[in-house]
Amino acid sequence: MTDSSGSPPSAQPTAPNPADRPVYVIGGGPGGLSAAYALRARGIRAVVLERSDRVGDSWRRHYDRLRLHTTRRKSALPGLPMPRRFGRWVARADVVRYLEKYAEHHRLEIVTGVEVTRLERTPDGTGWLLHATGGRELTGAAVVVATGYNHTPRLPDWAGRDTYTGEFLHASEYREPKPFAGRDVLVVGIGNTGAEIAVDLVEGGASRVRLAVRTPPHIVRRSTAGWPAQYSGILVRRLPVGLVDRLSRVQARVALPDLSAQGLPRPGPGLYSRVLEGAIPVQDVGLIDAVREGTVEIVAAVEGFEEGEVVLADGERVTPDAVIAATGYVRGLEPLVGGLGVLDGRGRPVAHGARTPANAPGLHFTGYTNPISGNLRELALDAERIAKAIARAGGASRLPTT
């Protein structure tokens, strides 16, 4: 790993000869590291550009309680298993350790402290020009964009939010429940993050925890009789959507209690239909019991703020001591590639993995979907496909043979 304070060859403009151009990988998270390894395994020089000073930066900033909802075996990146001592559900800190070891084990070429701000085709049309911090201009044969699904925190434009006098933070800023012990907290959003933070707050001693819900989610057990939900996701991924919706509806009625009386009715749209819309099921890590016992109270969605109060969709007004907005993230790709015509109306890449946009050959994206079969598993599969496509296209500089 190379710090940007020096002058490594990868941080200098590369030679104009296309054969001397490496593949640049933008982002030192799981997607970027696995792509760099897969390219290296095929003898192709890959340089990872990471804007922070360490790999796995986004994982370092997640809340302490977080554990993977996918199994250790199905979450490993290509070329290095996760250690058995991490257990079946790997903790956030162990994911960080694994990513550090992965980069070291595979001797990946990583330049830290370099943020790529814009991509464009080279004037001769044979590669990509990367504009980066410090006035750098780097020329690559191909580019793999892996800046992460959870890139930029998203906050709704709630009217009157500046009038709220309590503590307000996005879930990306939440680390542990200790600062909220003895306090009344409203968590907004019932994705996996919001659900888990709500349970964490209860167990950490918050005096009252409310969870604001706009659309009731599908909830699944992380594991049933030793069978992980991820395994079911892998098995059903290629089945017809309607069939999976029907099967999951039956399973939910058998395995999960009806929480309608507590404010969480069973969703109308099917589970897989919602997944294809971008709504991943909430994996239960204590939410069901907390809602059933009343330690997490379900309330209506937040509509706005007024005179220091939080206004809910049903007209109720509440005055919590703190509001934690678990309202998700946006991909944040527009500054980087917004002028290339490679994003759809929601800011997502129009092509993913081995496929490249028709007007942008050699530009690959990985990690911008949220698959039911597990994000890390799909990143690992994507890495191999991307490396194969780049090797087939040719033109990138090769690693020296030993």
pLDDT at 12 over 50: no
CA distance 398 to 377: 27
Sign of CA dihedral 150, 286, 243, 267: negative
Look up tokens 């079946």; give the residue.
88
> pLDDT tens digits, residue range 374-394?
999 999 999 999 999 999 998
Are residues 270 and 246 in contact, defined by beta-carbon separation less than 8 angstroms? Answer: yes
Domains plus CATH for the chain? 2-151+331-393 (3.50.50.60), 154-325 (3.50.50.60)
Are residues 176 and 204 in contact, defined by beta-carbon separation less than 8 angstroms? Answer: yes
> pLDDT tens digits, residue range 164-183?
999 999 999 999 999 999 99
Q: How confident is the model at residue 13 (pLDDT cuts 50, 70, 90)?
A: very low
What pLDDT score was predicted for residue 402?
Answer: 56
Give the percent of the chain with pLDDT over 70. Answer: 95
> pLDDT tens digits, residue range 124-159?
889 999 999 989 999 999 999 999 888 889 999 999
Look up tokens 């390219």; give the residue.
39
> pLDDT tens digits, residue range 63-121?
999 999 999 999 999 999 999 999 999 999 999 999 999 999 999 999 999 999 999 99
Q: How confident is the model at residue 277 (pLDDT cuts 50, 70, 90)?
A: confident
pLDDT at 14 over 70: no
What pLDDT score was predicted for residue 2?
Answer: 53
pLDDT at 285 over 50: yes
> pLDDT tens digits, residue range 204-223?
999 999 999 999 999 999 99
pLDDT at 1 over 60: no
pLDDT at 299 over 60: yes
pLDDT at 3 over 80: no
pLDDT at 15 over 50: no
Sign of CA dihedral 6, 9, 10, 11: positive
What pLDDT score was predicted for residue 396?
Answer: 83
CA distance 36 to 131: 20
Q: How confident is the model at residue 17 (pLDDT cuts 50, 70, 90)?
A: low
Are residues 66 and 96 in contact, defined by beta-carbon separation less than 8 angstroms? Answer: no
Q: How confident is the model at residue 19 (pLDDT cuts 50, 70, 90)?
A: low
> pLDDT tens digits, residue range 180-200?
999 999 999 999 999 999 999
Higher pLDDT, 402 or 102: 102
